[in-house]
Each structure stands twice: as structure tokens, then as C-alpha cells.
Structure 1
Amino acid sequence: MNIRLNEVRKYIENHGEATVEILTELLGCSKMTVWRYLKQLEDEGSIRRVRNGAIATSLAGDTEGLYSQRMHENADAKLSIARAAIPYLVPNTSIFLDAGTTVMSLVRQLPNQHYTIVTSGANIAIELSQRSRSTVSCVGGQISSSTLSLSGPQAEAFLATVNIDTAVLAATGYSAGAGFTVGSYTENSLKRRVIQKADKVILLIDRSKLGRTLPFTFASLSDIDVVICDAPLPEDFIQAARAAGTEVLQVQPAK
């Protein structure tokens, strides 16, 4: 059996999904080779190919199932991180909310006050419209079938017209060498643009993502004003944040 093909199969089984960029980095091969592996796995019924990657067959056609799976991963930590972020969001100001399950946890904790919110999460926009007094706008662009995030030139063009008081971002990985990373180039570009536009940037990340590097870096510690993460954080991370002038807030997972 092809060892690389088996690596791809196991990665998608374990994570529920994978982008071509992540698999290219994982295998050290070309995108064309990755797409060939994905075609083989789709033919055998293991996965379903989607834009920019693939989804496990068990979750294909069930975006809610895939998203629900992520929501339950480190759920207690995400809830505590979300609660700790609320005081940084001032009513009657302009807020950008990233896509992601930790940000969704934050949305579900928002007090019933007015905010002007722009989001790159399609499902986050829907959630806010049903439970919030806020004015909610969603950036345009291409939607990811696995993360429900919007990105691309249309999204960035929309952001150019928006003034952001506070941005709440999420990351898929962090390492000392690469900084905060994601697996999608267009999502990376969108996050960079948000950082340029925002007066204050808060980053939510759970500890399981530390030490993980994905292909695209969107920020270093010095680009972020506040990092909120579940405790305990490695001492080298705390020291690096201090040197960068970044506030770090450690929280205990909710019980």
C-alpha cells in the first residue's frame, strides 16, 4: 500500500477534513500529487473532495456534523476562553469576529447589547441574527464547505470599507518560528487585512494548537494585543509574549 496515500487517509480520518495546502506540507510533495491521492481515496469511498481539499465520507454532506465535532473538541477550554474575551468587547463599537468554533462560543456568550459586527463566519452571522440586538454584516467571497468561513478578494474589498475598533481572531496553529498560522491562503490574507484595519486585536486559541505549524503565517505575537488561552501556557510562550508587548490571559477550562 502506498505509504503517502495511507498518511492522507489517516489524517482525514483523524481530523475529519484536510486542505491541499496542509497535505502538501505534511507529505512534502506537489499539489498535483496530493490531488491524485485524493482522487484515489474518493474512488475507494474514504473521502469526498471539496474546494481546496477533502472531507471524510462519514461527515461529507453533513457540515453540521463536522462543525459539531469541532465544537466538542476542547469545549470546556473554548467556553472559558470565550467568556474571558467578552469584557474586551465594548457595546456600541465596531467588532470583527473571525470564523471558528471558539468564536462561536463567544457569540453564544455575548450580552444582549448593541454592537456593530462584521464577520467572516457565515454560520456566525446567522447565529448573531437570531440572538443579538447587534447590527451584523457578513463579508462576501468564497465559502469554505468545511469551516463555513468566507474569504478571497471580495471579502478583502468589503473590509477596506470598514473601520474596526476590536477584532477577535482565531488561529489553527502557533509555533515560535512561524507565529500564528492557518491552512488556507485566502483566510490567511483576510486575517492580515483585519489586523491592519483594527485598533485592537484579540486572538483566541486553545492550548492544543500550540506547537503546531500550518502553511500560512498571518501574525506574529507583536501583531496581537491580547492572547487568550487555556492554562497552563509554556513559559517560553509567556516570555515571548512579554518581549513582544502582548498581553496574555490564561484561563482555567470551565467545569
Structure 2
Amino acid sequence: MIPLERQSRIVDILAGRPAVGIAELTRVLKVSHMTVRRDLRQLERAGRVATVAGGARLTDSVLAREAPHIAKAEFCRKEKEAIGAAAASFVEHGAAIYLDAGTTVLALAQMLVGRDDLTVVTNDFAVLEFLSANSKCVLHHTGGMVDRENRSCVGEAAARAIQGFRFDTAFISSSSFGSDGLSVTDPGKTLVKQAANESAVRTVLLADSTKFGQRAPYAALGLDRLSIIVSDEGLSDDAKAALTAAGVEIVIAKGGQGERSKSA
């Protein structure tokens, strides 16, 4: 396969996904890491892709659909673990919290092992399964229309269930975020995130840096609805400046520790 064919194949692989790791690209294309990195540099110079920690994503792409849970679970695993650990510091004793669907929020749930003082509401089946086996907190699942690929519930019924609670903190995920807020691939997810935000004292976005600059068809929440964004060290200085300019506190997870920054 000549370089142009490989690069076209890389763009096809990235289409419709938040990001793809270099290891996966080498496996699918059957070439070396060095070859993939060289192709990515050429695509980046052409403005077609942006390199991120451990992989790449399409630039200025509109995500038509979200990757399934099983695919997302393997991408940016260490970054998600660090984000989850940093976010756990926001979970106060006796708190009522909402845990949104997604593998980054699942990483937070995995830091709540042994907690028996919390009330947790979630629309995510993986979060529910983990906490039911590994915590003694009070658990509620929203129910609603099932999104099989992402192992969660979305839509009006899920949103109505969320509206029946009052949360100290809503921990929200998103496949896409930027200086214009959060966007999602399904309007049913918009209803759920908005309901959680409206029912919470504060809303915290958990999102790895590969999701910054991505766009999806449906606007979910503006930055003015967020209290804090927890991301990883791959978030660029330009991205942090754009987000803090909107008055959002940014926490950068570093090996489980959170480094805070906020605009004046």
C-alpha cells in the first residue's frame, strides 16, 4: 500500500470516531509505528488530522455517531483513570451525585469502591453494574430508551427520572466539547445532560483532551452551565485559554492529582 492509500485509509478509520490510537492504526494497516507516525505528520501538515496523546483525530470534524462503549473503553485508558481519580476529590461525604454515561465517568465510579455514604443516580449500565458489586451506596438507574452500543439510557423517560432528584454534583461526559460548549450525536443524550445539569448544584465535565475541538450535530450544554472541566495533560494551552476565558475552572489530571487553573 503506497503512502497516499495508507493516509486515505487512516482518514476513513478516524471518520465517526473521537480519536484512534497509534497502536490500533499499526495493527489495522499492518505497518510500523514509525510509518504511522510519518503518515500522521503528513496528514497533520495537510490540515486533515490533529495528533493527540497516543493517537490522532480528524480536524474540525462533525461526529455523526459515537463510538461504542467497547471501543471507547480501550482508548486513553490511563488519561481516563487519572481524570477519574482527580474527579473523586469532588465527591463529598454524604453527597448525592449523578454519573453520566461513558467510560471516563466509569473511571470515576471505579474510584468510589467501598463508599457507603453516597446516593448515586446513573443512566449507565456499566456504572450501575460496577457500583452494585463494589460499593454500598444507594443506587438508582434512570431507565429509559436503551442505547445498546453505549450501554446506557437516553431520551425523555430518562430525563424525567433525573428531574426527580437534586444533586450536589452532576458528573457529565461528552464525545465533543469546545469553546462553544458540549455537543452530542443523539438528541436523546441532550435531554439527559440538560436534566442532570438543571438538577445539580454544580456540573463537572469529565472529558479527555482528544474530545476538545470535536463537534457533533446536537448542542447539549453551554460552557456557562459548567462549574469545572476535568481533563488530561494533552489539553493544549490554547484550549485551556479558550475555556478559562469563558469562566470555567480547568482541572488537569496528573497521575491522579488535579492541577487547577481558572480565569480571573
Q: Normalising to structure 2: TM-score of the pair?
A: 0.70
Q: State how far apart, in whole Å, the 2-side matches of 1:77 and 1:207 are.
A: 9
- Identical columns (%): 24
Query: What's the counterpart of residue 153 of structure 1?
Result: 156
Q: Which amino acid aligns with 1:206?
A: D
Which of the numbers 104, 122, 126 marks the counterpart of 1:119? 122
Q: Does 1:142 align with 2:145?
A: yes
Which of the numbers 202, 211, 214 marks the counterpart of 1:212? 214
Cα pair distance change 1:118/1:240, threshold 3 Å:
same
Alignment of 1:51-62 (within 5 A): none
Alignment of 1:3-22 (within 5 A): 10=12, 15=17
- Stretch moving more, 153-162 or 125-134: 153-162
- Stretch moving more, 229-238 or 212-221: 229-238
The CA RMSD over aligned residues, in Å, is: 2.7
Unmatched tracts of structure 2, length 5 or more:
1-7, 19-61, 257-264
Q: State how far apart, in whole Å, the 1-side matches of 2:63 and 2:80 are.
A: 27
Q: How big is the shift at 1:111?
A: 4.2
- Stretch moving more, 232-241 or 117-126: 232-241
Q: Does the 8 Å contact 2:224/2:248 carry over to 1?
A: yes
Which of the numbers 84, 87, 103 marks the counterpart of 1:85? 87
- Stretch moving more, 140-149 or 151-160: 151-160
Unmatched tracts of structure 1, length 5 or more:
1-5, 17-24, 28-52, 56-65
Q: How big is the shift at 1:237?
A: 2.7
Query: What's the counterpart of residue 168 of structure 1?
Result: 171
Cα pair distance change 1:172/1:112, threshold 3 Å:
same
Cα pair distance change 1:194/1:214, threshold 3 Å:
same
Q: Does the 8 Å contact 1:129/1:136 carry over to 2?
A: yes
Cα pair distance change 1:211/1:154, threshold 3 Å:
same
Q: Does the 8 Å contact 2:128/2:139 carry over to 1?
A: yes
SS of 1:147's partner is coil
Cα pair distance change 1:163/1:14, threshold 3 Å:
closer
SS of 1:233's partner is coil
Q: Normalising to structure 1: TM-score of the pair?
A: 0.72
Q: How big is the shift at 1:70?
A: 1.6
Q: Does the 8 Å contact 2:17/2:66 carry over to 1?
A: no
Cα pair distance change 1:122/1:26, threshold 3 Å:
closer
Q: State how far apart, in whole Å, the 1-side matches of 2:16 and 2:188 are.
A: 24
Q: State how far apart, in whole Å, the 2-side matches of 1:151 and 1:190 are.
A: 6
Query: What's the counterpart of residue 224 of structure 1?
Result: 226
Query: What's the counterpart of residue 132 of structure 1?
Result: 135
